[in-house]
């Protein structure tokens, strides 16, 4: 659900996805020098990170972790 994967093998630590996230879901692990999914519950499935990742390391599922009640 929502952001599911940042492939550690592929991630080069460029921080593009960290900056791209409008919900502060992705943080940067300074020890490992890799992006990490930190607050997946708040992922809004905007796909900024997946679209921007130059290494194709990210996979986002279009369903959110906390479902939003529909209008009807």
Number of CB atoms found within 10 A of residue 36's CB: 13
**H or E element: which one contains 60?**
strand 58-60
- The least distance separating other proteins from the CB of residue 11, rounded to whole angstroms, comes to 18
Number of helices and strands in the chain (H, E): 2, 4
Binding site for other proteins (CB under 8 A): 19-24, 27, 38-39, 41-42, 44-48, 50-52, 61-64, 66-72
- The least distance separating other proteins from the CB of residue 40, rounded to whole angstroms, comes to 12
Nearer to other proteins, 6 or 50 (CB): 50
């Amino acid at each position: 659900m929502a952001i599911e994967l940042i492939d550690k093998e592929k991630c080069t630590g460029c921080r593009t996805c960290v900056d791209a996230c409008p919900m502060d879901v992705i943080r940067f692990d300074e020890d490992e020098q890799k992006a990490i999914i930190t607050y997946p519950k708040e992922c809004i499935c905007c796909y900024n990170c997946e679209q921007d990742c130059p290494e194709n390391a990210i996979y986002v599922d279009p369903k959110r972790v906390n479902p939003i009640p529909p209008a009807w």
